[in-house]
Structure 1
Amino acid sequence: MADRNIVWVTGCKGFVGGVISERFERAGYNVVGTDVELSVCEPERLEAFAEEIQPGVIVNCAGIRRDATTLGTRVKAYEVNALGARNIALAANTIGATIVQVSSDDVYSSKLDEPVNEFDSPHPNTPYGKSKRAGEMMVRNTTDDHIIIRSSWLYHAQSGRMKDILDAARAGEKYVARMDQFAAPTSVSTYVAFMLKAIERHAKGTFHIVSRGRASRYDFAAKILEYAGYEPGKVLVPETDPKTAENVVLESLMLEMVGADLPTWEDDLRAYMAEENLLA
């Protein structure tokens, strides 16, 4: 019998999987994490593992990353991001578990004229985005008991851009930041908090979990430095490149319709930096 207090997190050693595992444990769940030792491309092993541990929820964070997905590696990306998601959904079906599929704003075109919500049809224009979109479709077609979560520019202090920006400032080095790439930065605290609420309320469907507003990479980096007590102008080097400019701003319409109070990206950042003792 599947136990809602047991959560299986695939890709538990990745950027998002590690944080989700830690914060779910903090919230009182019994978390079982797997990574490369149990490939999402092996459906029989996945089903056997699900039968063994009987999780009530499976959070699928396993995937080939955006920066590792090119035309040359797209076969592997589809194998993991699409068929892997289907395999996890099949394993969830065998024991009656909910699958939480971690998706991305990359399922939309990278150059949008206006913000997009959960009712707008995705049209990805990158190999990575297409593989993640295929994964969403595979999950929907395999089980009704699913939560698909998209977000953008997820950050935490232990790795990634936020750490790189603060490391550069502490070392007196420069950091190059794009002025022509826009999205809604979202902290892992906000992301996981609303993911937990969706699970606890037995929600189903597709949700955008993003902070409100829009920022460039430069705006985001400057605000991190400002809150940490540095002068952004002494650290940041602005950069633009029309070929790789982006504008993908998600709106959390589904959450807003049920009265969720999502923070602005600036308030979210300040609260997260306070939580991590990073404010000046």
Structure 2
Amino acid sequence: MRIAVTGAGGQLGKALQRVLADAHEVIPLSRADLDLEHPDCVQALVETGAQCVIHPAAYTNVDGCARDPDRAYRVNALGTRYVALACQALDVPLVYISTNEVFDGASTAPYAEYDRPAPINPYGFSKWAGEQAVRELLRRFYIVRVAWLFGGERNFVRTVLRLANERNEIAMVADEIGSPTYAPDVAGAIARLIETPYYGTYHLVNEGFCSRYEFAAATLQLAGRTDVTLRPIALAEYQRASCVPPYTPLRNVAAAELGIRLRSWEEALAEYVGTLNVQR
């Protein structure tokens, strides 16, 4: 199958290329190939002749989205609409990568696929709007929500390790809870999902959930950085441009019924940290 992957240079885009390459013809599309802020990208995507499109490309800088919500909407909402229109013209299925931040974080239990979205920041709203564009325009689609993605060159894990090299104490939020997701694991799950005709909404995250503080603590322990003190702080103490939903673990119900499950985030993190050349 000819599969076009947007955001080919990102964490998930690279992981998808590696996973799909053996069984499929992958068409990697970078920002230079596909400008999501311009309607011309519809024709550019149509001209690839793809038989399936996986769309992880997005403006994912959450604070940047808060500072420039119009750009967030152009890229994540209208850009996804353009991708969906191209899939409509090609008559092929779309995999749209969405986010835990479509939820408001007011729940006390992990969110299932059909819990009601209620985004509280421009990033979450723009991604939710992208979901609506997909549902409006296509019959065959997979909306895949992920969260706290790690596994590439820029992510939370690498940030924690960089900070450990720069200072003796790190402050980390202890009351923001979510589902760490390892890019190679979710790429493998998507590769299995697109082989099925079971379209719809899915939560593909590693099993379990934790706070940012617990995520950082596990990273430091695996890296052998017992010399660094980790100090818990409240979300309210961490000043940033965006308002963050405090509790957004995702529950994999729909894909699990198909036998598609991801291992625990702790196992995935251990593998990832093991691939890094951790230097003090």
Instruction: Classify the TM-score, shorter chain.
Output: 0.7 to 0.9
Distance 1:272 1:203, change over 3 A: farther
Q: 1:36 & 1:108 partners in 2: Cα distance?
A: 31
- One of 202, 207, 231 as aligned partner of 1:237: 231
Counterpart amino acid of residue 177 in structure 1: M
Report the more deviating stretch, 13-22 or 211-220: 13-22
Amino acid at match of 1:29: E
CA–CA separation in structure 2 for the residues paired with 1:261 and 1:191: 9
1:253 is aligned to 253
How far is the alpha carbon of 1:28 from its aligned partner? 4.7
The unaligned stretches of length 5 or more in structure 2 are 238-243
Q: Distance in 2 between matches of 1:90 and 1:251?
A: 30
Q: CA deviation at 1:36?
A: 4.2
Give the 3-state SS of the residue equivalent to 1:211 in structure 2.
coil
| Distance apart, 1:108 and its partner CA | 0.5
Please tell me whether the aligned partners of residues 180 and 245 of structure 1 are also in contact (alpha carbons under 8 angstroms): no
CA-CA distance at 1:217 after TM superposition? 0.6
Verify: 1:19 aligned to 2:26, yes or no: no
Distance in 2 separating the partners of 1:278 and 1:263 = 23
**How many Å apart are 1:98 and its aligned residue?**
1.5
Pairing 1:122-271 to 2, within 5 Å after superposition: 122-170=117-165, 173-231=168-226, 234-242=228-236, 246-271=246-271
Q: CA deviation at 1:68?
A: 1.2
Report matched runs for 1:74-153 at 5 Å.
Answer: 74-153=69-148
Contact kept? 2:6, 2:54, Cα under 8 Å: yes
The structure with the largest helix share of the pair is 1
CA shift at 1:109, angstroms?
0.4
Q: Name 2:37's counterpart in structure 1.
A: 41
Aligned counterpart in structure 2 of residue 57 of structure 1, from 48, 52, 61: 52
Are residues 273 and 89 of structure 1, via their aligned partners in 2, closer, same or farther at CA, if it must alter by over 3 Å? Answer: same
Higher relative contact order (CA 8 A, sep 6+): 2
The residue type paired with residue 130 of structure 1 is: F
Query: 1:192 is paired with a residue of what secondary structure?
Result: helix
Shift of 1:85: 0.8
In the alignment, is the contact (CA less than 8 A) between 1:176 and 1:239 conserved in 2? Answer: yes
Q: CA RMSD in A?
A: 2.4
Distance in 2 between residues matched to 1:18 and 1:223, nearest whole Å: 25
Deviation digits for residues 137-160 of structure 1, max 9, x if unmatched? 110110111111101111115222
Q: Please tell me whether the aligned partners of residues 227 and 279 of structure 1 are also in contact (alpha carbons under 8 angstroms).
A: no
Q: What TM-score does the superposition give when structure 1 sets the normalisation length?
A: 0.87
Work out the CA distance in 2 between the residues paired with 1:235 and 1:98. Answer: 48
Alpha-carbon contact 2:56-2:97 (below 8 Å) kept: yes
| Residues 19, 191 of structure 2: 8 Å contact kept | no
Residue 240 (structure 2) aligns with: none
How high is the sequence identity, in percent, across the aligned residues? 27
* C-alpha displacement of 1:101: 0.6
Cα distance in structure 1, aligned partners of 2:9 and 2:152: 16
Q: CA deviation at 1:102?
A: 0.9
Could you tell me how far apart the structure 2 residues matched to 1:241 and 1:46 are? 39
